[in-house]
Amino acid sequence: MSDDYLDKFLKDLNITWLTSHKNKNLPINIYKGNILLSDNRQLLLQMYS
């Protein structure tokens, strides 16, 4: 699955992407009170698809 598809999927879920204060290269998102590392995008697909 392409990153473009994953990015669109996350945007469709209205997930806000933020930058971690500790590591500027580590994007995180907050969705319904849950903080998930960007590395867990595949897990998000499984949870919300």
- Tens of pLDDT along 21-44? 444 544 555 555 555 555 556 566
Residue 20: predicted pLDDT: 41
- The residues near 35 (Cβ < 8 Å, ≥ 6 apart) are 28, 29
* Residue 2 exposed, middle or buried by CB count within 10 Å (0-12, 13-18, 19+): exposed
In terms of Cα–Cα distance, which of 24, 25, 47 is closest to 9?
A: 47
Domain range spanning residue 22?
3-48
Q: What average pLDDT does the structure give for the chain? A: 57
Percent of the chain with pLDDT over 90: 0
pTM for the predicted model, two decimal places: 0.25
The number of folded domains in the chain is 1
